[in-house]
Amino acid sequence: MPITVAVVGAGPVGLMLAGELKLAGVESVVLDRLQRPSGQSRALGFNARTAELLHQRGLLERFLAEGRPVPVSHFAGLPMDLTKLDSRHKYTLSMPQFKVERLLEEHAVASGIEIRRGHEVVGLRQDDDGVAVDVVGPDGEYELRCAYLVGCDGGGSTVRGLAGIGFPGTGPKVHGILGDVESIETSVEYRTPLSYPGGIFGVAPIEPSGFRVTTVEYEVTPGEQDTPTLDELRESIRRVTGEEVELGQARWLSRFSDSARLADRYRAGRVLLAGDAAHIHYPQSGQGMSLGIADAANLGWKLAAVVLGRAPESLLDTYHSERHPAGRSVLTNTEAQKAMTFPADWVRDLRSFFQELMAYDDVHRHIMEEVTGVGVRYALPGEPSDGGDRTSLPGRRMPDLDLVTAAGEPVTVAELLRGGRGLLLILSDGVTLPGAARGWADRVDLVTAKPVEPAPAAAVLVRPDGHVAWAGDATDGERLLASLTTWFGPARG
């Protein structure tokens, strides 16, 4: 079977993207330079928006079985009550990254997706017909030909460099160490990341056992080795807190910094970027892995529509116009959190003032929606790139309403999106849509259902990623047909 898309990187983002392509009927191959999964737990969980995306694909239950829903999060260490979130999933799912990778890989393999481990991309050339990729595998070097190439290969992305895509931003100003240890003994308060005169110290439990230890120091020169030692982590904790700690055996140790960079374009011809290959940022509030998975959910159905000839190639331009601002937003909020956790006296008043602001429901909700991803609104064609009217339903994610179909069966919006197709949903009596809308029946499901609670609109057109493309009633038929054409290509005869 021909390879239409090559995905570089078998992390959560690459595996999610490959799954989205397969669901839409497009074959891909996943290349990863590592011989086996790293087993690292760099990310410790994902946010509510990722839970929604996995629920839309029928995958969430297997993650809930191995993860731990936590109804709180934080912004620069200031707590947020996620039970107030406007989502069916009012939690952060605590789950080490290696478990997320394993479950997504199991799903990919069960779907028939080929994963080639120990295959490293070393060159690429693209023309009008596709991309030629030079790969070094266990049996030597070979050329792989594909229609499109997507780099999901991390912050040091080889694909990004070979494609000549710029990665502007700021370099490191702080030095951090992450360590997964079997035990920790200390009298220091550590259950949430706290600022000390020497920096930041925090500890989080890792399921089923062990602890994630994090330190952040300012104006400290990192050690010469790429991987820190356990003694180096102990010394860092002592410098930050002024106290000694007892650490059990380390399962994994790594360095990180506050480098903040955003690719200047997410697409260069037939080469695209997703995940950390497109953006890196200071790790605050656990947004990194979720940001990348949302990239994959946005790109997958669009790339599939173009590959299958159902939509023009210009649809891929909306991937950059929608996800680049989302990446910029996360960089902005993580830089703000970094400033608020700086270990200096002048920051205390800033934190105190910000804490007062978060007592207001609207402020609290806005920050929660930012950190959890549920507040993302994409600018529609013709709107400003900053997303335009953030309160408008089109562009926002569709609420997961409880519905009753015309046959009297209960169903939710998320369940109607399981097939990865568009959804034209009629929610009110008396709405008659133009017959021409049936010209998209091969790509868009038409469903009539009654909402259990009041609906936000009489009818909605929902994209495969769960975002609303159009909302209106029987008087908006012309606008509906225009939206169908924009997002799903020309109608069939």
pLDDT in tens, 158-190: 999 999 999 999 988 889 998 889 988 876 665
The pLDDT of residue 1: 41
Task: Report whether CATH 3.30.930.10 matches the domain 5-68+90-169+261-334.
Answer: no
pLDDT at 349 over 70: yes
Record the tokens describing residue 82, joined without a space. 């996620």
Mean pLDDT estimate for the chain = 91
Query: 173-257: which CATH topology?
Result: Alpha-Beta Plaits (3.30.70)
| 41 neighbors 192 (Cβ within 8 angstroms) | no
pLDDT at 383 over 80: no
Report yes or no on whether pTM surpasses 0.85. yes
Radius of gyration for the alpha carbons in the chain, expressed in angstroms and rounded: 23
The pLDDT of residue 192: 56
The pLDDT of residue 184: 87
The pLDDT of residue 270: 97
Region 209-217: what's the mean pLDDT?
88
Calpha distance 11→99 (Å, rounded): 11
Record the tokens describing residue 401, joined without a space. 């309403």
Region 409-416: what's the mean pLDDT?
97
- Greater confidence (96 vs 13) lies with 13
For CATH 3.40.30.120, list the domain ranges present in the chain.
Answer: 402-488
For CATH 3.50.50.60, list the domain ranges present in the chain.
Answer: 5-68+90-169+261-334
The pLDDT of residue 346: 78
The pLDDT of residue 167: 97
Residue among 232, 227, 237 at smallest CA distance from 185: 237
The pLDDT of residue 100: 94
Query: 402-488: which CATH topology?
Result: Glutaredoxin (3.40.30)
Region 408-416: what's the mean pLDDT?
96
Calpha distance 393→457 (Å, rounded): 9
The pLDDT of residue 212: 87
For CATH 3.30.70.2450, list the domain ranges present in the chain.
Answer: 173-257
Region 36-56: what's the mean pLDDT?
87
Region 425-429: what's the mean pLDDT?
92
Calpha distance 397→417 (Å, rounded): 12
Q: Which amino acid is at 414?
A: A
Note the pLDDT tens digit of each residue in 101-153. Answer: 999 999 999 999 999 999 999 999 999 999 999 999 999 999 999 999 999 99
Calpha distance 50→94 (Å, rounded): 12
Calpha distance 245→235 (Å, rounded): 9
The pLDDT of residue 471: 94
pLDDT at 363 over 50: yes
* pLDDT band for position 396 (cuts 50, 70, 90): very high
Region 14-26: what's the mean pLDDT?
97
The pLDDT of residue 341: 84
Note the pLDDT tens digit of each residue in 460-493. Answer: 999 999 999 999 987 888 899 999 999 999 998 7
Calpha distance 193→341 (Å, rounded): 9
- Greater confidence (276 vs 45) lies with 276
Record the tokens describing residue 312, joined without a space. 């023009």
Pairing of strands 28-32, 45-46: unpaired
Provide the Cα torsion 227, 233, 239, 241; round to 10°: 140
